Chain A
């Protein structure tokens, strides 16, 4: 992660990271045999480290909400009868599903301000990029859910005199939602972890704070170990929750 950041971000902090790691005394002499773990430095800076968690969680939630709403619009466009809606929606989902998320973030950070003439803060950049990415994946989840509903349901709804939107709202989406929820859970867990990439553009979320501390304390080994533990502690219950959703909604069908 650090290597990646060091190569891609020409800012003061990461330059410092790449330089200082090489000269850090504890690492220079370290081997698996003699490395002395020193976790005290982590505990001393624990509040600082945890201060990034709020941003991580906030970014994940906001991206999920924004991406969820945008994704629904994209999904409806993709299943539209109108080619003029279908084609752009298809291009959008495929573009965002086939490029690395870090590239998307860099693109929004560097290119979008020039194209759109707006200046975004790091957090806003992260929010926009992640939301756009989530929307592409959510659109596919929605679409797959909607398409999985038996054609007979459509015909029964239309035969009753429903309009397409009544049919979607009352018949198709309520049924599709139980099939969408488990993959949405998977999407969420993956998004939560993906927020770490936002550290690359200097947003002070968990991963960024960890990198900052690692440089500041010369203790990357301990800092990144504990950071991994923090991600695990937060993500693992969510992952269990997703497994539960899969079981619950599978047995319902």
Chain B
């Protein structure tokens, strides 16, 4: 594995020897990873490779079997951890559209600050308006999720996560459930976020995102990281034969 430029800064996410087993199934095998502040990491790999499970361990929606995870120097693994508090700092966007359907777009965005952070209504609303503006949905403030397209719903979901002012954002195949013509708007919102300096871990099948936005691409297969490096390196000169095969199956890369 190649040393990246981020190795010298203090990592904002540090994963050490992470293991996850579902019964007999060993899904993650001693995975190590470090992510620098502001870094955008694209996580790719075939389905069943453990990449989504890895992401879900990072905010403990999935309980790691063993190993340590540190976010902003603080360990988030172990029984003594205050999970709700830990999760405030880690935003997550999911594959399935799961805005709160009984609330309007702005209420969705205000929900975290209001309920979890106990922000005042006016303060939460002001921030929510700014965030919806940022994701380009100022005109949809009072609209319920059912009246929004899938792409718009994912953009509100991004605003909802941002409202908690997280230190890290996790994206779990956020465009996989969308119609192809809606993928672009979500990816460009994510690119904008990356440009603003957000630390992002992005599980994705969108190789164009990996190529254009990510600082680093990490390839998972069978529960381990088999290759990682700068996007141009992975996409044009992947050294691992399995990475090459995976990319060629997606009709991506030079093979």
Contact = CB atoms under 8 A, between A and B. Distances in A.
A152 B85 CA distance: 20
Interface string A150-174: 1011011011111100100011001
B84 A155 contact: no
B61 A175 contact: no
A150 B98 contact: yes
Interface residues of A, number: 16
- Which residue, of A152, A156, A162, A170, has the highest number of chain B Cβ atoms within 10 A? A156
Interface residues of B, number: 27
B164 A161 contact: yes
Contacts, number: 61
Contacts of B111: 160, 170-171
Contacts of A152: 94, 96-98
A160 B98 contact: no
Contact of A162 (B97, B116, B157, B161): B116
A156 B84 contact: no
B116 A160 contact: yes
A159 B101 contact: no
Contacts of A166: 115-116
Interface in B95-139: 96-102, 111-112, 115-116
- Which residue, of B59, B85, B101, B157, has the highest number of chain A Cβ atoms within 10 A? B101
A171 B160 CA distance: 14
Given A153-B100, A166-B115, A175-B102, A159 B92 contact: yes
Contacts of B98: 150, 152-153, 155-156
Contacts of A150: 96, 98
B69 to A, nearest CB: 15
B87 interface: yes
B51 interface: no
A89 B116 CA distance: 30
A170 B115 CA distance: 8
A166 B116 CA distance: 8
Interface in B157-181: 157, 160-161, 164
A158 B87 CA distance: 8
A174 B107 CA distance: 14
A159 B95 CA distance: 14
B212 to A, nearest CB: 26
Interface in A167-196: 170-171, 174-175
B91 interface: yes
Given A156-B100, A170-B111, A175-B101, A161 B94 contact: no
Contacts of B155: none
A161 B100 contact: no
A159 B87 contact: yes
Nearest to B95: A152
B88 interface: yes
A156 B164 CA distance: 13
Contacts of A161: 84-88, 112, 116, 164
Given A153-B98, A160-B88, A160-B161, 10 more contacts: A152-B94, A156-B94, A156-B98, A158-B61, A158-B84, A159-B161, A161-B112, A161-B116, A162-B112, A166-B115
Interface of A: 150, 152-153, 155-156, 158-163, 166, 170-171, 174-175
9 contacts: A155-B94, A155-B98, A158-B87, A161-B86, A161-B164, A162-B84, A162-B116, A166-B115, A175-B100
Interface of B: 59, 61, 83-88, 90-92, 94, 96-102, 111-112, 115-116, 157, 160-161, 164
A-B pairs, top 3 by smallest CB distance, nearest first, are A152-B98, A161-B88, A159-B92
